[in-house]
Amino acid sequence: MNENNKNAHPQSLPLGKVGGALGGALQHKINLKTKPTGSLGQLEDIALQIGLIQQTLSPKIEKPVMLVFAADHGLADEKVSPYPKDVTWQMVLNMVNGGAAISVFCKQNGFNMKIIDAGVDYDFPSELPIIPSKIGRGTKNMMHQPAMTTAECELAMQKGADFVKAEAKKGCNTIAFGEVGIGNTSSSALLMHRFLNLPIDECVGAGAGMVGEQLEYKKNVLKEVSRKYNPSSPLETLATFGGFEIAMMAGAFIEAYQQKMLVLVDGFIASAAMLSASQLEPALKNNCIFCHQSNEKAHSILLERLEAEPVLDLRLRLGEGTGAAIALPIIKSAVNFLNEMASFEDAGVSRETEL
């Protein structure tokens, strides 16, 4: 089989074309603030988007939650990462102990972080604050068989959806998804390759640190994996090339859209999960803010294909949800200026005049 994709889905409509009367009212409110028109730049776009998601002129960020999904990948046996598979469970414990970057940033910025064992090849002590939700002890090695069965993939997606539904019932309206799993940039590259009909070379980057001959080896492994399979649907594609954590995120993205939640998208792996989910629910992109452009080579290409403008570019490539956690204060700034900044009339300030 060649490297072409047969599962790509047309892009959803830009927000500006579906805003209707509410969109016009939000834009009018934004323009009446005491500032030159457009001078708050991307913050104005974010404020408009969140107002449309929440269907209100006065949107709020309420009880933000970070769900971190952890799972192992059978393809890691092919040495597509410089780190051993054990690093997955070790990093989960580091998160639990507050030592990981995502732990620090969630604590700093008011995210309620929850860690979910989606399929780590390790038995965590039951007393730890890790939510047990294993589909299996890691996916299968794609070099020999599909990563998941479609039934396993559907179960993972349903579990991801259930986690989001539970948070929505508690009053959360803003959610983000992080991940940890050695080998998951390889899965993400394969999903991007298939769903966007791009060559593997454009979809593969350093990941956790593959460079030079190691990077070429990684590319060759993924090309060989791709040649083995010809999935016929988005679900089968996700099952063939994905990971348990990626599938849970995909289900979580779809449910967050259905719950009318604001979704803060992290880096390359989270974006690949969102891309996978969008094959089944194209409109979910309207609820997504892409929080940063990863330093992972393929992410800039993926964002361009999604017609997404990232909030930040800090050369991050850590994953875990770190970019989304860091971006939250900026997202809050967009909401706060819309709700709290004075209008020209309120402040008694003369407006700019038309020339």
Q: 218 pLDDT exceeds 80?
A: yes
Per-residue pLDDT tens digits for 54-64: 999 999 999 99
pLDDT, residue 207, reads: 57
Q: Tell me what pLDDT residue 114 has.
A: 98
Cα separation of 285 and 302, whole Å? Answer: 13
Position 296 confidence tier, pLDDT thresholds 50, 70, 90: confident
Q: 85-138 pLDDT, tens per residue?
A: 999 999 999 999 999 999 999 999 999 999 999 999 999 999 999 999 999 999
- Domain range for 155: 65-331
DSSP single-letter state for residue 273? H
Q: In what order do the strands lie in the sheet with 288-290?
A: 130-132, 112-119, 65-71, 174-180, 262-265, 288-290
| Local structure of residue 260 (DSSP, 8 states) | T
Is position 224 annotated as part of the catalytic site? no
- What is the average pLDDT across 258-274? 98
Q: pLDDT tens across 178-201, in order?
A: 999 999 999 999 999 999 999 999
Question: Where do runs of H (alpha helix) occur along 200-349?
Answer: 200-203, 212-227, 234-241, 244-258, 268-278, 297-305, 322-340, 344-347
How far apart, in whole angstroms, are the C-alpha atoms of residue 215 and residue 217? 5
pLDDT at 350: 74
CB atoms within 10 A of CB 4: 12
Residue 353 covered by a domain: no
Residue 39: predicted pLDDT: 95
* pLDDT tens column, 5-53: 333 333 333 444 446 899 999 999 999 999 999 999 999 999 999 999 9
Structure confidence by residue, pLDDT tens digits, 124-166: 999 999 999 999 999 999 999 999 999 999 999 999 999 999 9
Count of domains observed in the chain? 2
The active-site residue out of 78, 152, 296, 320 is 320
Q: Is the pLDDT of residue 209 over 80?
A: no
Q: Smallest Cα–Cα separation from 70: which of 202, 159, 162, 193?
A: 159
Is residue 307 domain-shared with residue 176, that is, in the same domain?
A: yes
Residue 345 has pLDDT above 90, yes or no: no
Are 209 and 306 within one domain?
yes
Task: Tell me the CATH number at 342.
Answer: 1.10.1610.10
296-321 mean pLDDT: 94
For residue 143, is it within any domain? yes
- Are both 73 and 54 inside the same structural domain? no
